[in-house]
Amino acid sequence: MDRIYVANAIITLDPNRPFAEAVAVRDGKVLHVGSLAEIEGYLASGDYVIDRQFADATLTPGFIEAHGHLFGDGSVCDFPWVGFDDRVRADGTIDPGCKTIADVVDRLRRDVDRALAGDKTLLGFGFDPTFHDGRPLLAHDLDQVTQELGVIVMNASGHLCYANSFQMQYNGVNASTVAPGVMVDLHGNPTGEFHETAMGLVLAKANILGTTPTKATWNGGRLAQLAGCTTMSDIGMVTLGAGFDAFRSAVAEEDFPVRVAFSPNMNKLRELLSLSERIELARKLRSEDTERCFMGPLKWLADGSIQGFTGKLGWPGYCGGEDHGFLILDEEAVVEEVTPFHNEGFQAAVHTNGDEATAVVLRAIERIVIANPRPDHRHRLEHCQLASRAQFQKMAALGVGVNLFSNHLYFWGDTHRTKTVGPDKARRMNAARSALDAGVTFSIHSDAPVTPVGPLFTMWCAVNRQTRSGFVLGEYEQLTALEALQAMTLGSAKLLHIEDKLGSIEVGKWADFTVLEESPLEVNKLAIKDISVLATIVGGVVTERPS
């Protein structure tokens, strides 16, 4: 039976009919859009029901988070949360933030007995030295939690971790361990802080106390739906093994609340499979796409985190005199890695935080597309936080899209303008206006669980560009509310090559809508983040928020 949803306002993002009163759905797709009288006229001889439950609300195209980590976000729900800010759990309850190192230690202690009972490594998530006067967690801090089992804490960025003495000893990490990313004291002893690839030295043997893959997937789906997403991404998965199989099985369940676009982690797969095996795996995954679970771009990392000082910066580097960061993949490696998949018709998404990393990857992509021309490849740069206007213009010339980490402006904007990159580079962070001016296809994102998934908050960040202290960081780069909504919906769909199916409310597209209490185009721009999500509609089926 056809269903007609009536709303106070429907923002379609279709320039032929930007606003409507009603939308009819048949077989999970948009059948008609317009006034209720028009649609009833079209369906005069048909069998339909008029649904007025959202008559006072606003419908928008379903929010699409094109750079998040659904599985990781769901996993975090069952790890001790040691971040500075409060965090929403999948059931809607709140984990309070840890404001001091002592709070972190106390929070971890609560799970020690459970970890000991299961003979597991205790893993915490979300710590950021930025909010503790730049002080990292050290082994002697985590030794206060327990000396009877391993304790590891992941930095909020995911690019650093911290371990206690037990875990370092268990993994054989000591003064003779020499590797990039192992932080040491004046005597050459590891401090317990590990950067980038060095994290594997303490994570390799960790038997982590966490959750099941199925539960983590469901947690991630619920978090995304609570925030108003109808499509969520998991960008950078190891797409092998029982855990990945359980992930796909969970997403395939009839009542799973969101569609999922997953992206294989090519840096990790390179360690596990030969090139021919990686190509064959990508072909297989692409052939198994469904409407609810499909493969997005292939994901590579070229550098690290700016607040972790591992993002690769151009001159003059970090303003505190730190090293300029480092490349995980240099230009030659990007060309070598991406070219075979480009030739197979796959899309690449390359993580670049620093401006030098962006320059390196753009040079590599230019070499790839000149040597192997391919229309509409739509390769993407992820985060791309410090790109210059010249770099955006080069992206446009190369047909490269960009996914900007707008949430970073609020959470770390003050840190970047005063401690990491300085005020000039900080003003152009996540420069959405420059991307728009250059004609670059772009979206904005949360990188959950690095920051909480929340499209309305992400839009608020892109529109207002306010830091935690209230400082406006780069006023010129602000978007309008409409531009931010387009980035969060149609822009994301374009980056995922699914704009023919999602991103706007048009006849023939999937009937995915987000239901809001107020219109983001009508409220004061500072209030966008405070709009309530009433429900989501995926394929014409309503999923309401838990009360």
- List the CATH number of the domain containing 144: 3.10.310.70
Please state, in angstroms and rounded to a whole number, the distance separating the CA atoms of residues 322 and 541: 52
Same domain, 145 and 289: no
What's the CA gap between 103 and 123, in Å, rounded?
15
Q: Are 191 and 340 in the same domain? A: no
Answer yes or no: are the C-beta atoms of 121 and 206 closer than 8 Å. yes
What local confidence, expressed as pLDDT, does residue 545 receive?
Answer: 73
Instruction: Answer for the pair 29, 78: CB distance below 8 angstroms, yes or no.
Output: no
DSSP letters along 341-369, please? HHHTT--EEEEE-SHHHHHHHHHHHHHHH
Reading the block at residue 48, the tokens are 């339909």
The residue written with tokens 């490696």 in the block is: 333
Does residue 489 share a domain with residue 358?
A: yes
In this structure, the answer to whether residues 309 and 421 fall within a common structural domain is yes
Tell me, yes or no, whether 170 lies in a domain. Answer: yes
pLDDT of residue 547: 57
In a domain, 340, yes or no: yes
Q: At what angle do helices 355-371 and 331-343 cross, to 10 degrees?
A: 40
- pLDDT, residue 92, reads 83
- Is 116 domain-assigned? yes
Instruction: Give CA separation, 375 vs 159, 206, 346, in Å.
Output: 34, 45, 12
Could you say which of 203, 221, 236 is where a domain stops?
203
Q: Is 73 among the domain residues?
A: no
**Same domain assignment for residues 278 and 173:** no
Question: Domain check: are 198 and 272 in the same one?
Answer: no
What local confidence, expressed as pLDDT, does residue 119 receive?
A: 83
- Pick from 409, 531, 515: which is nearest to 470 by CA? 409
Residue 118: per-residue pLDDT:
83
Structural domains of the chain, count: 2
Residues 313 and 452 in one domain: yes
Helices (H), 119-274: 139-143, 165-170, 200-203, 213-226, 241-251, 266-272
Give the torsion sign (CA, 215, 217, 219, 222).
Answer: negative
Whether 163 and 310 map to the same domain: the answer is: no
Asked, for residue 22, whether it belongs to a domain, the answer is: no
d(C-alpha 517, C-alpha 531), whole Å: 6
Together in a domain, 395 and 279: yes
Query: Does residue 57 sit within a domain?
Result: no
Q: Is residue 547 part of a domain?
A: no
| 188 and 276 share one domain | no
**CATH code (residue 415):** 3.20.20.140
- Give the pair of three-digit tokens for residue 120: 């597991």
Range of the domain at 192: 79-203
In a domain, 13, yes or no: no
First to last CA, the chain: 28
State the pLDDT at residue 133: 85
CB atoms within 10 A of CB 547: 4
Sign of CA dihedral 76, 82, 84, 87: positive
Q: Are residues 363 and 470 in the same domain?
A: yes
HEC assignment per residue over 181-198: CEEECCCCCEEEEEEHHH
> Which regions of the chain are under pLDDT 70?
209, 322, 546-547
Cβ atoms of 25 and 31 closer than 8 Å? yes
Q: For residue 165, what are the β-bridge partners?
A: none
Q: In whole angstroms, what is the distance from residue 96 CA to residue 87 CA?
A: 6
Burial grade of 93 (CB within 10 A; 0-12, 13-18, 19 or more): exposed
Rg of the chain, C-alpha, whole Å: 23
375 and 493 fall within a common domain: yes
